[in-house]
Structure 1
Amino acid sequence: MYKKEQIEIGGQPTGRLKASWLLFKESWKYLRADKEVVWIPFITGIINLVLFGVLVTVFVLLVMGGDFTLSEEGEPSSPIELVFIFACYIVGAFTLALSQAGIVNTVYTRAYGGDATLGQSLKVAFSRSGSLLMWSVITSTVGIVLRMIAERSKLLGRIVLFFFGVAWSLATYFVVPAMIIDKKSAFSSIGKSKQVFIDTWGETLVSNFSLGLTFLLVHLMSFLALIGLIITSIAFDLHQIFIPLIIVLYAVFFIVACLVQSALEGIVKTLLYIFASTGNAPANFNQELLEKMLARSNVPSPSSPDPQILNHTV
């Protein structure tokens, strides 16, 4: 289980929060070594937009050409709305899983001395599309069931359902790495993910909190800069020229920041999974940091990397 005491890294006492920050910095090194990994969430994001556009078009045509009625505000969703929401859940979960799968393969290959290209990682991700789609259906079913119950529940019931949803998200946090690295099925990946999360829950939560807080500050500072530049442009009567340019630049920065955040989250997740599930600290990683952070009596003995994945990517 998670140990509250400090750990020593380089002979110096190090708190868990600082250790998680060091893990973030190590993950940044991986991103710099494989910059193309940022393109993976970009590509899957485009796929998501296309599929979502198709769903919206079909939904609008069905509503306009049929006898379907939409629910009033405050009422439970109608059957056609639930089908549409469920389909949106699946599309969102599937494209997110594809993105994570590509990142996992890239990081896993780098962790054992390889260098996967963008095309190779996407190929591995799509080769597991059947399992990823099944996982998307499973998690979307959980999501839609929770939504249906919440719509018919009072405040206390919604609070309980909220915490259940959080617990489900945490327990399934490592599902995609389990499918890509260990080639597990969608169902068996849930059990594996739960076990890895139990082994790393402290570091997983703190690492994600540190990462989320860092990018929250980045987005906040960029938004304040946007407001300041707009006010300055108006004050100097330059708004017709500069405001459109400022907004475009801000939008580009926002998208890039989100892509980098998504890539780093995938890197951190994969590194935690590799060590917690195999006992291996990657040779090109700060081994002492990972070993001390995840020192567990129930961590398995070191095992060799899956040669089938490396053969796909090296």
Structure 2
Amino acid sequence: MFEKVSRSWELVKASASVLRSDKELMLFPLISGLATLVVLATFLLPMFALRVFADGFGIGAAVFGFLFYFVQYSVIIFFNCALIGAAMIRLDGGDPTLADGFAAAKSRIPAILGYAAISATVGVLLQALKNSKNNFLVRLLGSGLGVAWTLATFLVVPVLVSRDIGPVDALKESVRLLKRTWGENAVGQVGIGAAFGLITFGVVIAGVLLTVLAAQASWMLAVAVGVLFGLGVLLLGIYQAALSGIYSAALYRYAVSHETPDAFRGTDLAHAFEPKAS
């Protein structure tokens, strides 16, 4: 297990070096975040006006939830495809532009919409399982299935970008590759999430304390400090999303080709993706 952790962190650090050499990749999650906020605002207004969830998670709420998840996932998956498409160009030694990433995503729009529909269906079902009105075991089952779904679909977007196949086949391929890259997949995701979670928590605590101290001198200074730390948390989220996209692109590339680009020289990729013994 320690060996898998070490290999996974080598991949994460190598992914970070790719991001340092091409900071424009952070623009994809930035634009994605702005677009998802627009989608959220678009759905929040009718949700409150029509009191969709006033009677719990019924048929109307399920339909509304599906539509929201579908639009939201379509936007997120599109920009993830653009990010990973650009990251793969960088891994090949190229110098990708925003246009290159968007071109990769636009060429796969039918598959993206199909995968968004599948993800929306799963999202509604998981939300129904995690409904507060269910008993503890059902909610626990929903949470466990959510984790399993996240792991199983981690490589779907790289598959969609790299291969001309539909969303169902991309899901099957992601699950197949998951079996070969389980250690690196799980440890890498948890490692990135945990590291940024701790950093974000520290920034939030420091921001609250400094904002309170600044308020003793001037409310304008307190607002300025609060905004500054808020932007810091936002940038951390964007950096995490970009790093996760590069990591998934690298994981997919090595799982299928066993090639080592310059950015990953020195990492133990030769053993990271050996097929498991049957």
TM-score (norm 1): 0.81
Match of 1:216 in 2: 197
Match of 2:113 in 1: 133
CA drift at 1:58? 4.1
SS in 2 for 1:183: coil
Moved more, 148-157 or 105-114: 148-157
2:248 is the counterpart of 1:269: yes
Paired positions, count: 276
Report Cα offsets for 1:63-117 as digits up to 9, x if no partner.
2xxxx77534xxx423332222112211222222112111211111111121110
**Alignment partner for residue 239 of structure 1, among 198, 218, 229?**
218
Structure 1: tracts of 5 or more residues without a match:
7-14, 299-314
Distance, in Å, in 2 between the alignment partners of 1:239 and 1:18 is 48
> Where in structure 2 are the equivalents of 1:246-265 lying within 5 Å?
246-265=225-244
Match of 2:54 in 1: 71
**Alignment partner for residue 68 of structure 2, among 79, 88, 91?**
88
Distance, in Å, in 1 between the alignment partners of 2:153 and 2:245 is 14
> Where in structure 2 are the equivalents of 1:141-290 lying within 5 Å?
141-151=121-131, 153-234=134-215, 237-286=216-265, 288-290=267-269
Residues 162/278 of structure 1: CA separation in 2 closer, same or farther (3 Å cut)? same
- Aligned CA-pair RMSD: 2.1
Residues 162/223 of structure 1: CA separation in 2 closer, same or farther (3 Å cut)? closer
Residues 226/59 of structure 1: CA separation in 2 closer, same or farther (3 Å cut)? closer
SS in 2 for 1:295: coil
Looking at secondary structure, tell me which structure has more helix per residue: 2
Does the 8 A contact of 2:10 with 2:267 survive in 1?
A: no
CA drift at 1:221? 1.9
Paired AA for residue 248 in structure 1 = V
CA drift at 1:290? 1.8
- Percent identity over paired residues: 26
CA drift at 1:37? 0.7
Match of 2:98 in 1: 118
Match of 1:9 in 2: none
Residues 93/71 of structure 1: CA separation in 2 closer, same or farther (3 Å cut)? same
Does the 8 A contact of 2:180 with 2:276 survive in 1?
A: no
Residues 78/31 of structure 1: CA separation in 2 closer, same or farther (3 Å cut)? same
SS in 1 for 2:36: helix
Does the 8 A contact of 1:230 with 1:239 survive in 2?
A: no
Match of 1:292 in 2: 271
Paired AA for residue 81 in structure 1 = A
CA drift at 1:194? 0.2
- Structure number with greater Rg is 1
Match of 1:310 in 2: none
Report Cα offsets for 1:125-163 as digits up to 9, x if no partner.
122122111101101112212333554743223322332
Distance, in Å, in 1 between the alignment partners of 2:195 and 2:130 is 32
Report Cα offsets for 1:175-233 as digits up to 9, x if no partner.
11111012221110000000111110111111112211221221122122212312332
2:41 is the counterpart of 1:53: yes
CA drift at 1:241? 2.6
Does the 8 A contact of 2:192 with 2:244 survive in 1?
A: yes
Residues 57/193 of structure 1: CA separation in 2 closer, same or farther (3 Å cut)? same
TM-score (norm 2): 0.90
Residues 146/21 of structure 1: CA separation in 2 closer, same or farther (3 Å cut)? closer
SS in 2 for 1:164: helix
SS in 2 for 1:177: helix
Distance, in Å, in 2 between the alignment partners of 1:161 and 1:218 is 28
Distance, in Å, in 2 between the alignment partners of 1:150 and 1:16 is 32
Structure 2: tracts of 5 or more residues without a match:
none
Paired AA for residue 19 in structure 1 = R
Does the 8 A contact of 1:71 with 1:78 survive in 2?
A: no
Report Cα offsets for 1:37-75 as digits up to 9, x if no partner.
1010111222222223223344455x2xxxx77534xxx
Paired AA for residue 242 in structure 2 = A
